[in-house]
Amino acid sequence: MQITGNDVLIVIDVQNDFCPGGALPVRDGDAVIDPIHNLAVKFGHIVLTQDWHTPGHSSFASAHPGKKPFEQIEMSYGMQTLWPDHCVQGTRGAEFRPSLGLTRAELILRKGFRREIDSYSAFFENDRTTATGLAGYLRERGLTRVFLAGLAYDFCVGYSALDARRLGFEAIVLRDACRAIDLDGSVQKMEAEFARAGVVLMESTDVLG
């Protein structure tokens, strides 16, 4: 596949807390880094996202007495999975994985910093209406096709891809450059959403040629 100046690689949440040893580790999370590095050399434009939660964030199980991680509760914006405390602003867990060496990234977009609402997608908070500003940034720069990699495939990567399509961008998820949580069949559900929305699944080899 030919990568052009209108393409952008969006690397989602490759942070210590989502990697082995972190507060919310994705199985084999570190394994995304080598394929991401291989892909990055093909792209003139790279964006990184960073989960950036306040202490006591409403998506943390610890903020809801009697609740445990991975339970669901009803929030004002719909159902919310409760997570272990993770990616708290200014902590080591919120830092990018040290082996992620994407010094050419042009933008680091922080999300999930509003205490009362979670943010999976790089484009919107979980109410599906509060924008992060990423769409405007991409449009201002003439970037029309997004390639997504990172953590986790069935949550933050997946919702970012779906929102990219909803906003009129072409969206390609690089499957081998992602790892999944797979909570209660979330991978299968997300891939069904991809099919409906027109999200394209590829391997990094399809881009590298």
Per-residue pLDDT band for 209 (boundaries 50, 70, 90) equals: confident
Q: Are 149 and 9 in contact (CB under 8 A)?
A: yes
Confidence (pLDDT) at 87: 98
Q: Name the DSSP class of 135.
A: H
Per-residue pLDDT band for 204 (boundaries 50, 70, 90) equals: very high
Q: Are 173 and 23 in contact (CB under 8 A)?
A: no
Given a cut of 90, whether residue 162 has pLDDT beyond it is yes
Active-site residue list:
13, 111, 156
